[in-house]
Structures are given as structure tokens and as C-alpha cells.
Amino acid sequence: MVDKTILTVSNVCKQYDQRLVLSGVSFSASAGESVVIAGANGSGKSTLLRIVCGLTTLSSGEVTWQTQEGALSPTQMLRRLGYVSPELGLYDRLSAFEHLETFARLRCLQLGPDVLSETLRRFGLGESMHRAVGEFSSGMKQRVKLALATIHSPDVLVLDEPSSNLDEDGRQLVRELIHEVARHGLVLLATNEVQEVAEYGQTVLRLD
């Protein structure tokens, strides 16, 4: 699937009640590319990412993922990608380690405690991996989300404001992840930060 993944978004519209959030959005992207979706607050960046991931239905238009296994709908693609968003919650009473362990098993990955601990250390959570996530700062929670999104080494990484709440170390981590995945896969990134648009925006899609 790796080097053949192509995303095609054709004339996508999304309407909530009477409010049109997205109107006729079209673009395509393929593996090895990073696409930045930029735009003002409320311009529909997060909605577009959710539609592309199959987490929100579209009002009209079409989204297809072309993989080596054929054309997949966003819903079929859902479990193959990594997704980070401010709208994603965590289980307050579980630790970061328990999160990673549970979601690795849900994905049927056989990762031992050493690998999980090492992953959490890479994400700067080595000291606090056994503390309940409910006690974490928002930056630490963002690191857990990033770890969860990349535990299965996805070929497609969908990031909605990935640097929000992160310190400089965390931002560097995001940079590394994006460059790592964009070498062989596809990165879709929604951001308002000018620096991120300039740094990652091989292709920039503006929603205004």
C-alpha cells in the first residue's frame, strides 16, 4: 500500500443544518507528499480532515483512497491511518502506558512492554507513563495522542493542529514525525501557524 496511496477529494460539500461549512473542495495527494490545509478559524479545516478520515459524512462529493488493494472508502481507510486532533479524547483513568497497550492490542499489534515503554520515552513521557492521563497537562495529552497515532507506523498521518499545547521539544517531535512519514507516506496537516505552513506545505490548500 505504501507507495501507491493516492487520496482524491472531488467537489466535497458539507452542510450542518443550514450552514455550509465546505463548498466544492477538490484536491488530490499521493504518498511522499505533505499537504497543509490552511484557513481562518471556522473555515472547515477540521471538518475536511474528518471527512477524509471517514469520521464525518459528507453532504455531497466524493472521497476515495486508491491503495495497492484497490479503491477504499474513507471508512475502510480509517483504521490504517494515524489521526491527531484536539477533538480526540483520552481515558482519564488510564495511564499513558495502558492507553498504548490497549490500542496496540486493539490493532492486533504484538508489542511487548519494553517497546511500549521505549515509544513513550521517545514521546517524552518516560517519567509519567504510569500516571493517570487525567492528571496530565494538555501538552502531555497531546504527546499521548501522537504516540497513539503512530504506534502502528501508518502510511497516512492526519494531523489537526498537531503542535497545539506543545513546548519546543514537542514541536521538534512533531517535525520529526512529519518528515518520517512524508518520506514514504502521506501527511495531511491542518494548521493556522505560518511557520508550519511554510515548513511542511509542499502543497497548500487554503480554505477561506
Residues 6+ apart with CB under 8 A from 15: 21, 59
Lay out the sheet containing 82-84: strands in order across: 82-84, 156-160, 186-190, 33-39, 203-207
Residue 97 Cβ vs other proteins, minimum distance, rounded to whole Å: 12
- The amino acid present at 138, given as its one-letter code, is S
Could you give the CA distance from residue 72 to residue 97 in angstroms, rounded to a whole number?
32
Could you give the CA distance from residue 149 to residue 191 in angstroms, rounded to a whole number?
17
Nearer to other proteins, 38 or 65 (CB): 65
Residue 89 Cβ vs other proteins, minimum distance, rounded to whole Å: 3
Nearer to other proteins, 109 or 204 (CB): 109
Nearer to other proteins, 131 or 171 (CB): 131
Residue 54 Cβ vs other proteins, minimum distance, rounded to whole Å: 7
Residue 31 Cβ vs other proteins, minimum distance, rounded to whole Å: 20
- The amino acid present at 61, given as its one-letter code, is G
Nearer to other proteins, 87 or 176 (CB): 87
Residues engaged in binding other proteins (CB under 8 A): 53-55, 57, 75, 78-79, 81, 83, 85, 87-94, 98, 101-103, 105-108, 110, 148
Q: Which grid cell is 108?
A: 492486533
Nearer to other proteins, 79 or 121 (CB): 79
User: How, if at all, do strands 60-67 and 156-160 pair?
Assistant: unpaired
Residue 185 Cβ vs other proteins, minimum distance, rounded to whole Å: 16
Q: Which grid cell is 134?
A: 487525567
Q: Which grid cell is 179?
A: 518528515
Task: Please check whether residue 82 is in contact with residue 103, taking contact to mean a CB–CB distance below 8 angstroms.
Answer: no
Residue 105 Cβ vs other proteins, minimum distance, rounded to whole Å: 3
Nearer to other proteins, 38 or 63 (CB): 63
